[in-house]
Amino acid sequence: MDGILPLYKERGMTSFACVSRLRQILKTRKIGHSGTLDPDVAGVLPICIGNATKVVDYLMQSGKQYQGELLIGFSTTTQDLDGEKIAEKPVETEISSKKIKAAMAKLTGAITQIPPMYSAVKVNGKKLYEYARAGETVERPKRQVEIKKFELLSSKYDKKNKQQRIRFNVECSKGTYIRTLVVELAQQLGYPGVMSILTRLKSGGFTLEQTLSLANVQDAVATQTLQQYMYPLDYALKEYPQITIQMPQWKKVQNGGWLSPNELNTNEQEIVLLFDGQVKALYHFDTKNKMYKPTKMFAIK
C-alpha cells in the first residue's frame, strides 16, 4: 500500500502512538508522519505509507494553520496547561482588542524563536525535554520562522478570576512553536500566559475536512474502501512544475543520469519528472554544470 493519508490526531495521543496504531491496522511497518503534534494538540497529521514515506520532508515544507486559545494571567514550565505554574499576575482590567491586535502585528512576519525546554528539539544528541525533566538547562538554538497571519478571533475577560482568554488563528511556516508564539504575545501585553487549547487546521496541503480518525481508518480497512481516502505520492509535490519524459530520458534517469535543459525544454530550477503517467523523480538545475541532476528518486522501475 502506497499513498498519503490525512489523519485526524485526537487529543491525548502522541504522534508516535498514532503511527503505531496505524501499523497494526494496516499491517505494515513502512509508515511515517510529517510534523509532530504535541499530545494535547488535535488536528491534521499527514501520514505517509509505503513508497510515499519518501515525500515526508516535502509535506513538512508546506505551511501550517492553527486555531487555539491563549489564557492570560499565569505561566507554566511547559507553556501550556500540562506544566507547573511558575508565575502569576492578575489581569485587573480587560485588555482591549485594539491592544491585542497591535501586539499580534508585532509578531507577524519573519521572527526569531527559541524552542521551549519542553520540546523534542535535540541539542548534543539529547532532546530538550529530557534536559528539562532532569532539571538541567542548556543553550537552545534560535530559529527563524515566518508568521504569515496572526489574527484575533475573540477575547473574553474573566473578572472573577482576573484572567483573559484570547482565541486566535495562525498561519505559519514549519518549525514554528505556537506555544512560544502565544506566550510571547502575553508578554507583549505585559502578562504571563499559557496556551490553553490548540487545533491544527491545515498541514501538508490537507485541511481538517479531509482527515479520517483512527476509527474511520479501521472501518475503511474493514470495508476495503481505504484507497479512496488515500492521496498519491505526487500530492506532496504539487507545487513543483511537472515534465513528462520519454524512453531515452527515462533510461538515463533510471541510472541517476543528468539531463540537459534542451532535453527537458524547461528553465525551471526544480522539476518533477513523470514517465508513463507516474512520478519518478525530483530533479534540480545545477548552475555549475548547466545540467539537471537528481534530488530525489521515487521509482526506478
Which residues are designated catalytic? 38
Phi, psi (5° rounding) for residue 88?
-150, 140
Phi, psi (5° rounding) for residue 38?
-60, 150
Which segments of the chain does DSSP mark as H helices, in order? 15-26, 56-60, 97-106, 128-133, 178-188, 214-222, 247-254, 261-264
Strands 291-297 and 278-286: antiparallel
Q: How many CA atoms lie within 13 A of 279 on its CB side?
A: 24
Phi, psi (5° rounding) for residue 190?
95, 20
Residue type, 88: E
For residue 21, give Cα distances in angstroms to 84, 188, 207, 226, 272. Answer: 31, 41, 22, 15, 33
Cell of 127: 532532546
Phi, psi (5° rounding) for residue 262?
-65, -40
Going by the DSSP 8-state scheme, the letter that residue 140 receives in this structure is P
Residue 73 contacts residue 193 (beta carbons within 8 Å): yes
Could you give the CA distance from residue 159 to residue 222 in angstroms, rounded to a whole number? 52
Cell of 46: 499527514
